[in-house]
Amino acid sequence: MGPRRLLLVLGSALLLMLTPSTAYAHHPSPDPTPTRVVAGLGSGLGTTVGPDGALYVTAPFSGKAYRVDPRTGATTLFASGLPTRPAGGGGAYDVEFVDGTAYFLVTFVGADVGGSSVDGIYRMDGPSSYTVIADLGAFATANPPDTDFFVPTGVQFAFEFFQGAFLVTDGHHNRVYRVGLDGSTEVRLALENVVPTGMAVHGRTVYVAESGPLPHLPQDGKIVSFGKRSSSVTEVAAGGPLMVDVEVSGHTVYALAQGIWPGVGDAGSPATPNTGQLFTVGRHGSLQLVAGGLNQPTALEVIGHKAFVLTLGGEVWRVDLRHT
């Protein structure tokens, strides 16, 4: 796609209608068929497991985040008033907890894309109050990548807290940043045109999903890893079309692919509906299908023997993992 980099899910996501959240009660079942447990959040991009064991999800286009009880699906508003972009597409892309405090990764809301807010990491001080601890848009603008780009502030997609600092993927500038709680920022890894998206931390290893450039061929959808002192990444698995997230539970690596790119549209166009897939990584980097038919999934968490998948349309689906 030449100089253009993925602005993931910014395209048709603008058409999503924001509706009140609805919870669906569910019961444990060893059935790998995905089961919807939450609907009606309007949009969805980032997830984390909070210190209370609950699932937390961002609904970026409404400036909100929700707490989801993984046992019952009961959904409550956790945060509101987060920055959004008037034209749509920007907002809180991810959420993470550090010592019991929630932080949000906010992106695509700066002046260069018609917004009026800071692209960066926001500390939650109250249900609707926040402090910007790191201006990632300003850093990206002042320190542009060596490769071509067209959004100076980049598009930061996901973050994880690792050894005292945040690691942040930028799917547009193809980099991983290291960001301290004091706001200090540096480029941790500069990558080729691989479009880094979701991340997971397991012990001393960081796993990163790569969507690959348009047309998001399956062989370009990868899971890679790096360690504390690594200067490059190591391929873990490949073959997931438009890979958007990774999770590690025990000794098992899970990979989430948004699905088949429709072959039309520009950077930011999501996958064809209902083509998303959840995989486990097998021996020698093979991908083993756990569940298919997911509708434009964006993020993944594993809690116990269950995977929870957030979708672009603001739904949460559960997949029982006891058959994997």
Predicted confidence (pLDDT) per residue in 78-102, tens digit: 999 999 999 989 999 999 999 999 9
How far, in Å, CA of 17 to CA of 313, rounded?
8
Predicted local distance difference test score (pLDDT) of residue 265: 65
Cβ atoms within 10 Å, residue 83: 24
Q: What pLDDT, in 10s, does the model give residues 172-203?
A: 999 999 999 999 999 999 999 999 999 999 99
pLDDT confidence of residue 198: 98
Q: Which residue has the higher pLDDT, 221 or 5?
A: 221
Homologous superfamily of domain range 12-320:
TolB, C-terminal domain (2.120.10.30)
Report the chain's mean pLDDT, rounded to a whole number.
90
Q: Decide: helix, strand or coil at residue 223.
A: strand
- The pLDDT tens digits of the residues spanning 38-58 come to 999 999 999 999 999 999 999
Q: State pLDDT tens for residues 17-35.
A: 222 333 333 334 346 799 9
pLDDT tens, position by position, 102-142: 999 999 999 999 999 999 999 999 999 999 999 999 999 99
Residue 157 pLDDT > 80, yes or no? Answer: yes
Query: Could you give the count of Cα atoms lying within 13 Å of 76 in the half-sphere of its Cβ?
Result: 6
Write down the domain spans for the chain. 12-320
- CA dist 268 and 7 (Å) reads 4
More confident call, 10 vs 84: 84
Record the pTM: 0.91
Query: Length of the chain in residues, anyone?
Result: 324
